[in-house]
Structure 1
Amino acid sequence: MLFLDNSRAKNFTSAYKDIEFLNFFYKQLRLNKTGRFEDLFPYVSLCGLERNFLRCDDRPIVFTEIQDNGTTLRIGQSSRTYPFEPTSLSMLKNGRLYHKAPFGGYGLVMSKTADKLFPLFTFDEYGYPVDFCWRGKKHILTNEIRRNVGQ
Structure 2
Amino acid sequence: MNILKFPKIKPGLRFYSQGQLINNRIREYFYFINNRGELFLQDSKYKTIATRYNDEKFLYNFFQNLRLNTSNRYKEFKHVYLCEGERNYLICQDTPIVYTDLIDVRKDDCDKDNVSNQYLNQLYQTSSDNLALIYNNCLRLTTNFDPSKINVKTEGKIYYRNKYKSNSIVKSALADILAQRFVFDCNDKLPTHIEWNNYKYSLIHT
TM-score range, shorter chain: 0.7 to 0.9
Q: Name the SS for the 1:8 alignment partner.
A: coil
2:144 pairs with one of 57, 64, 83 = 83
Aligned residue number for residue 9 of structure 1? 46
Instruction: Show structure 1 runs of 4+ deviating over 6 A.
Output: none
**Which residue is equivalent to 1:137?**
199
Gap regions ≥5 residues in structure 1: none
Query: 1:36-75 to 2 correspondence within 5 Å?
Result: 36-38=73-75, 40-68=76-104, 71-75=131-135
Normalised to the residue count of structure 2, the TM-score between the two structures is 0.65
Answer yes or no: is the 8 Å Cα contact 2:65–2:81 preserved in 1: yes
Residue 138 of structure 1 and its aligned partner are, at CA, apart by 1.2
**CA 1:86–1:75 in 2, change beyond 3 Å: closer, same or farther?**
same
Q: Distance in 2 between matches of 1:104 and 1:88?
A: 10
Which structure: larger Rg?
A: 2
Match of 1:22 in 2: 59
**Aligned residue pairs, count:** 143
Query: Can you list the C-alpha shifts for 1:76-111, whole angstroms capped at 9, x where unaligned?
Result: 111210111100101112321000113471211100
Instruction: Give the deviation of 1:66 after TM superposition.
Output: 0.5
Q: Quick check: which one's helix share is greater? A: 1
User: How has the CA–CA distance of structure 1 residues 68 and 48 changed in structure 2, closer, same or farther, with 3 Å as cutoff?
Assistant: farther
Structure 1 vs Structure 2 CA RMSD = 1.6
- Alpha carbons 2:101, 2:137 under 8 Å: kept: no
Unmatched tracts of structure 2, length 5 or more: 1-37, 106-127
The one-letter code of the counterpart of 1:59 is T
CA contact (8 A) 1:131 1:139 kept: yes
Paired letter, 2:100: T
Identical counterparts, % of pairs: 34
1:121 counterpart residue number: 182
Cα contact 1:120–1:132 (8 A) shared by 2: yes
| Alignment-derived partner of residue 96 in structure 1 | 157
